[in-house]
């Protein structure tokens, strides 16, 4: 397989972590859709990464679709998401919170790049509060009985750890470790795992 996209993209990184966690070898193409939109557009009609090229040449263009495919590839016993029921819904809902954090963290970053006369402070505050709320929700699920934990690794844990790292990298003023201390412990516990360490931007 070939994963196309910079690890700076949390969507790309979570797919890379899943690939490595499942022991699936892949080639990495460090494409940044913002710096090379023409090439990204050739691979994806909306010029976004990641793109996952399967061994048969099929191209997947959404990280959620990629993770579903990897679960299918791994089989029920090794899949990162339960196949059905309340456990599956819990994992998917937490994953949705994490991916919203990716989006709002990015949105705040770009809003802050505007010239001072164009910055919308109310938007920045809205994004900040959404990020805090998301981290707090993930933190609740990171307690001793929560589904976000080191073992067994699942889609929600991968997505949450990536969200934590991404928020910390782009907006250190938030201090995610203070907002989400339980999640911070999970992040620390996984920090030396190759799947997370080798995919840091």
The domain ranges of the chain are: 2-74, 85-197
Mean pLDDT within 22-29: 97
Res. 144: pLDDT tops 90: no
What is the structure's pLDDT at 40?
92
Among the ranges 3-7, 36-40, 148-152, which has the highest mean pLDDT value? 3-7
Res. 84: pLDDT tops 90: yes
Kindly give, in sequence order, each residue whose CB lies less than 8 Å from that of residue 156, ignoring residues fewer than 6 positions away. Answer: 90, 91, 92, 94, 95, 98, 141, 147, 148
Mean pLDDT within 106-124: 93
Res. 191: pLDDT tops 90: yes
Q: Round to whole Å and give the CA distance between 126 and 182.
A: 24
What is the structure's pLDDT at 3?
98
Mean pLDDT within 6-24: 97
Mean pLDDT within 164-181: 95
Question: Across all residues in the chain, what is the average pLDDT?
Answer: 95
What percent of the chain lies above the pLDDT cut of 90?
92
What is the structure's pLDDT at 152?
87
Res. 47: pLDDT tops 90: no
Confidence band of 127 (pLDDT split at 50, 70, 90): very high
Residue 191, token pair as written in the block: 């920090």
Among the ranges 26-30, 117-121, 142-146, which has the highest mean pLDDT value? 26-30
Domain 2-74 CATH assignment equals 3.40.30.10: yes
CATH code of 85-197, in short, is: 1.20.1050.10
């Amino acid at each position: 397989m070939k994963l196309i996209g910079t690890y700076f993209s949390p969507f790309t990184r979570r797919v890379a972590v899943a690939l490595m966690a499942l022991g699936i070898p892949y080639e990495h193409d460090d494409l940044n859709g913002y710096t090379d939109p023409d090439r990204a557009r050739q691979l994806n009609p909306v010029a976004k990464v990641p793109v996952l090229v399967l061994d048969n040449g099929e191209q997947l263009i959404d990280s959620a679709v990629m993770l579903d495919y990897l679960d299918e590839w791994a089989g029920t016993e090794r899949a990162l998401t339960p196949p059905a029921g309340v456990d599956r819904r819990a994992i998917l809902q937490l994953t949705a919170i994490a991916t919203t954090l990716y989006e709002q963290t990015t949105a705040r970053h770009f809003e802050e790049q505007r010239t001072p006369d164009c910055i919308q402070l109310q938007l920045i505050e809205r994004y900040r509060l959404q990020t805090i709320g998301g981290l707090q929700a993930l933190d609740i699920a990171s307690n001793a009985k929560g589904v976000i934990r080191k073992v067994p690794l699942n889609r929600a844990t991968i997505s949450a750890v990536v969200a934590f790292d991404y928020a910390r990298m782009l907006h250190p003023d938030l201090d995610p470790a203070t907002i989400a201390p339980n999640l911070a412990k999970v992040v620390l516990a996984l920090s030396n795992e190759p799947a997370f360490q080798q995919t840091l931007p």
